[in-house]
Every structure is written in structure tokens, then in C-alpha cells.
Amino acid sequence: MDKATLLGFIAGTLTTFSFLPQAVHTFKTRSAKDISLLTYSIFCIGIFLWLIYGLMIGSLPVTITNGITLVLALMILVMKIRFG
């Protein structure tokens, strides 16, 4: 694996897992009152577009990390809608 790909995986992993504490906290407390619906909606659209971009250019770091980030962000968005 070349250095650029490794760097991409490290950066993507760090930014992806930064959403895990929020997802866990929201699920445990069943409260999403302080989460912005608009922000997470726009963010999910942006991450979806990054995922498509990663697929188009054939970049595993961009595709994999944004795919995982999208799942985590969508979980938070769904909890925001469900728990309000």
C-alpha cells in the first residue's frame, strides 16, 4: 500500500470514528434535542456525494470511510427524527 493510500485510510478512519461517540450517546440517552436536523441532513447528503465520488475515481479510502461515515451519520439522523 502506498503512503497516500495509507494516509487516506488513517484520515478517513479518524474522521469516521469521530461520529461513534455521538451515535452511542444518542442511542443510550434516547435524546437528540441538541442535534441539528438541518446540519445532519446536509452532512448526510455531502457524505453520500463523497461516497459516489470515491466509487467514481476508484479510491478505496474515500469509498470505505465515507460509506461507514454515512451509516453512522444516518443512524444519528434517524435517531434525531425518532427521538427528536
In order along its 84 residues, the chain shows pLDDT tens digits of 899 999 999 999 999 888 889 889 988 999 888 889 999 999 999 999 999 999 999 999 999 999 999 999 999 999 999 987
Count of structural domains within the chain: 1
- The reported pLDDT for the residue numbered 52 is 98
The CATH number for 77's domain is: 1.20.1280.290
Q: What is the pLDDT of residue 84?
A: 77
* Spatial CB neighbours of 82, under 8 Å, sequence gap ≥ 6: 32
Identify whether 47 is part of a domain.
Answer: yes
pLDDT of residue 27: 87
Q: State which residues form the domain around 72.
A: 35-84
Q: Are 7 and 52 in contact (CB under 8 A)?
A: no
pLDDT value of residue 32: 86
C-alpha cell at 22: 455521538
Any domain includes 58: yes
